[in-house]
Structure 1
């Protein structure tokens, strides 16, 4: 019988394969080593292949698509309900095969090499920023043990620590002074690496037309625009702007029972990094509006007049996400005075 659907449980070395025919009957259960994957699927007739969106999933999705197969990636939490027995590779592959055949299943867009590369730069930059903040806090904490208290802010550490060490003279042991200077040099090195990665992101942004298009939206800069273009991929995979906003976790969580619906706080699902960038961009727009009040009849002025600015920040991030979908899905340009027909 011909195999129509295959579920693959991805791993580092040992992959579990589960295949069914058009009637859903099991026709294939096989375990493959990493080196056997390409040769096995290149000799297989084109079929639907499902995988969880985990490590190396986008790589294998591209490889299998090149061989003529239709590949679908799914979030692991959508696959878990289809696991019938105990947790093992064969049961996971069977659950993936079952889930990918569901007509209402939600799939993850497959990223190309360029998108993965720029997202890697974003992730490394994010990690370096966390390390830089931790290093500054460690320096501040060590100095406080000797009665030297610094205000908040990384720039304050750069500016005041050398002078502070000079002022103390011989009050601090030489070993401790050398340690603080070593940590300060490490902090400066982390800051230099963050700046270099930001320059790479800005260069990619200037070379990408879609990213430059999104930059015109108030509250979206080169960092947010490049991350959105690389993460969203094909915006037409979302039916509308609300689906994209829900994918980013910017829509209210719903709790409905007995015909009564309660809207709670935002769901906070999806990519935390993208959601954070959009919300920080919304804060920047609101801060600018406080310094230079917007037009009284504008959407932002009306909502600021009746809601707390933290609520308005999330609402603005939600609105920007929907605008991003409209620009990418319909190939439009942003116009601040745009009004729907």
Structure 2
């Protein structure tokens, strides 16, 4: 532990922590904005150091271990605030170093209207980890399949698009085109196919675990009553925002996911562009996928509460725009159900259903 500068710690009002792998850098201000703490500590010394500080606001960037640190400090009586890095950057002055970063975090933590990240429980972190492992495995499987296709094309062999098409024709290709494939390339392809099958098994195992969690978790079960939303979206949503307390309304959540138009307005003239794509890329991808699946089944629209709205949107908007609008609606509906602990109430449009039949 190394103290750089310290003032009257009894006047401490806010502390900014720059979280590192092994060391933390602390910068603290009093109520008048004067620097009273500037210190570097080891990660293991965090509880001991803060035990000797007056209880105050503690700011930190949203990063690895931020939620664990936040829970530790909250149990000690502090008021931790986890701040997105994008909101800290405007307060950073001078050259970039750990102390300047901690000072910027402390400045940002004092802003009363700054939106902070909700503190995640251990269950949420576990569920989030499952999704991240699954996403990595799916990405590796896609890369493996693409490599198999690339090696086959180098041998002058093409296979129609689709995972199943390649899987079903793989053995026939090795058998019928053996004169075009060298023994070494044949062994490489078989090894890649074994990797593919192993990844399939791992993905199925993780997916099954996520499904089990979705059945046991009440909030996930409530969200899954929304048309088009299943275990993957419901568990990813609960892992990311819990019960949605960080957002005041559904539009705020949709904006956080990045499903609202980018705004560039000035002089009273409103200019809206493409969606912002801010916030959670993973959740946005899941909601858009769900919307596109619903768009593929127009005969099912009449049995959804938003069937009439979707029919009108599909008629006047391009397909992708209508899908994004539907994804926005699904996100706002999911937040409402999470926040109020209710279930989706399907009001069937009987006239539209009769026409569809």
Give me the TM-score of the superposition, normalised by structure 2.
0.91
CA distance in 2, matches of 1:334, 1:288: 19
- Aligned residue for 2:311, secondary structure, equals helix
1:314 paired residue number: 324
2:312 paired residue number: 302
**What does residue range 3-152 of structure 1 map to in structure 2 within 5 Å?**
3-152=12-161
How far does the alpha carbon of each residue in 1:181-200 deviate from its partner, in whole angstroms, 9 at most, with x for none?
A: 11111111111111111001
Following superposition, the deviation at residue 113 of structure 1 comes to: 0.7
The verdict on how the C-alpha distance between 1:293 and 1:240 changes in structure 2, with shifts beyond 3 A counting, is closer
Following superposition, the deviation at residue 202 of structure 1 comes to: 0.2
- Aligned residue for 2:156, secondary structure, equals coil
- The total of aligned residue pairs comes to 337
CA distance in 2, matches of 1:330, 1:208: 15
How far does the alpha carbon of each residue in 1:53-89 deviate from its partner, in whole angstroms, 9 at most, with x for none?
A: 0121111111111111111111111101111211111
Give me the TM-score of the superposition, normalised by structure 1.
0.95
Whether contact under 8 Å (2:18, 2:101) holds in the other structure is: yes
How far does the alpha carbon of each residue in 1:153-199 deviate from its partner, in whole angstroms, 9 at most, with x for none?
A: 12122211111111124442211111111111111111111111100
How far does the alpha carbon of each residue in 1:91-112 deviate from its partner, in whole angstroms, 9 at most, with x for none?
A: 1111110110012211011111
Whether contact under 8 Å (1:294, 1:300) holds in the other structure is: no
2:196 paired residue number: 187
Equivalent residue for 2:344, pick from 328, 334, 337? 334
Whether contact under 8 Å (2:92, 2:101) holds in the other structure is: yes
2:287 paired residue number: 278
Whether contact under 8 Å (2:155, 2:180) holds in the other structure is: no
Whether contact under 8 Å (1:3, 1:21) holds in the other structure is: yes
CA distance in 2, matches of 1:227, 1:103: 29
How far does the alpha carbon of each residue in 1:207-258 deviate from its partner, in whole angstroms, 9 at most, with x for none?
A: 1000010001112111000100110124122111110000100111101112
Structure 1, unmatched stretches of 5+, are none
Structure 2, unmatched stretches of 5+, are 1-9, 349-357
CA distance in 2, matches of 1:244, 1:297: 23
Following superposition, the deviation at residue 297 of structure 1 comes to: 7.2
CA distance in 2, matches of 1:179, 1:141: 12
